Amino acid sequence: MTKGNFVFHNNVEIPNLGFGTWQIPNEEAYDAVTMALKNGYTHIDTALAYKNEENVGKAIKDFDISREDVFITSKLPAQTKGYDETMDAFNETISNLGVDYLDLYLIHAPWPWDEKGKDYTEGNIQSWKAMEKLYNDGKIRAIGVSNFEISDIQALLDNCDIVPMANQIPFYVGRDQEELLTFCKQHEIVVEAYSPLATGQLLDNQDVKDMADKYSVTPAQLLIRYCLERDTLPLPKSTHEERIKQNKQVDFEISQDDLKQLMDMEDVRK
Ligand SMILES: NC(=O)c1ccc[n+]([C@@H]2O[C@H](COP(=O)([O-])OP(=O)(O)OC[C@H]3O[C@@H](n4cnc5c(N)ncnc54)[C@H](OP(=O)(O)O)[C@@H]3O)[C@@H](O)[C@H]2O)c1
């Protein structure tokens, strides 16, 4: 990690904190993304499935920032597998966003959401080959996956040319995914921490609150800092400006003892 950025194995840099946009309806996405840009975020995470790409793109375009200074991630829908299907979905995404390239494009999940766990290896390989082509053609600066387990990634390593640059996974205090983290590190795959606040469910946890008080930060700031301390890239989401601002102010250090205490916590979502 260079200051403020993670670096992919192809040397493309990605700002080390991104603005999440899941569950922000298209009508609200314009204001939310504008607030994020205003407060210094230069990395926005969206997906075709979020149905807000249009206003995410419009907010970026209308803001006083050049395209190359904003890092945009989008995702191939979980149910869309195959070479041609991937090309079509990618074209839909860049047309929605109104851009001519993406910074990062991810396979949203190894399986359609309603068939979680089912083997879609062949479909993922075909999608990955399409993404390799788009990458080689300069349409995407980095390609990656999301919700992929070790075996899902291994299938791409065994059958394709390009090692994914990122894996975006649920990662928060209590859900550390150690084995997957180690595997990604071994293959120089940057781990992006989605739901760093456990979609809000960790914010009222008493242990988290107590530790946050100790550092004079909010629970959200402690949880976001935790991801960075674990070498993962947090993607907090909020539609409130005070929170958007706060979530980016995470320039403090968690002591080794406190880090260990957080690492020992149970998953609040179990
Ligand atoms: N690849 C995938 O499959 C996948 C899956 C899930 C998420 N993601 C990505 O990760 C992003 C974040 O995950 P997430 O949306 O699950 O949630 P999250 O960032 O863990 O938590 C968001 C929730 O916490 C609240 N919140 C945010 N900051 C706060 C603060 N400082 N104080 C108090 N409350 C605060 C938000 O409320 P308000 O909005 O009302 O402020 C919202 O209810 C997503 O938006 C998406 O980009 C990816």
DSSP for the chain reads: -BTTEEE-TTS-EEESS-EE-TT--HHHHHHHHHHHHHTT--EEE--GGGT-HHHHHHHHHHSSS-GGGSEEEEEE-TT--SHHHHHHHHHHHHHHHT-S-EEEEEE--SS-GGGTT---HHHHHHHHHHHHHHHHTTSEEEEEEES--HHHHHHHHHH-SSPPSEEEEE-BTTB--HHHHHHHHHTTPEEEEESTTTTTTTTT-HHHHHHHHHTTS-HHHHHHHHHHHTT-EE----SSHHHHHHHH-------HHHHHHHHTPPPTT-
| pLDDT above 70 coverage of the chain, percent | 99
CA dihedral 29, 56, 26, 132 (to 10 degrees): -130
| 270 confidence band (pLDDT: 50, 70, 90) | confident
pTM exceeding 0.95? yes
**pLDDT at site 2:** 53
**Is 113's pLDDT higher than 60?**
yes
173 contacts 265 by C-beta, under 8 angstroms: yes
Q: 25 alpha carbon to ligand 1 midpoint, in Å?
A: 13
Section 30-57 average pLDDT: 98
Pocket of ligand 1 from Cβ distances under 6 Å: 20-23, 45, 108, 146-147, 168, 194-200, 203, 218, 220, 235-240, 243, 246-247
Q: 199 alpha carbon to ligand 1 midpoint, in Å?
A: 5
User: How buried is 118 (Cβ within 10 angstroms: 0-12 exposed, 13-18 middle, 19+ buried)?
Assistant: exposed
| 1 confidence band (pLDDT: 50, 70, 90) | low
Q: 70 alpha carbon to ligand 1 midpoint, in Å?
A: 20
The mean of the pLDDT values for the chain is 97
**pLDDT at site 200:** 97
**Is 254's pLDDT higher than 60?**
yes
- Residues catalogued as catalytic: 50
* Residue with CA at minimum distance from ligand 1 atom 13: 195
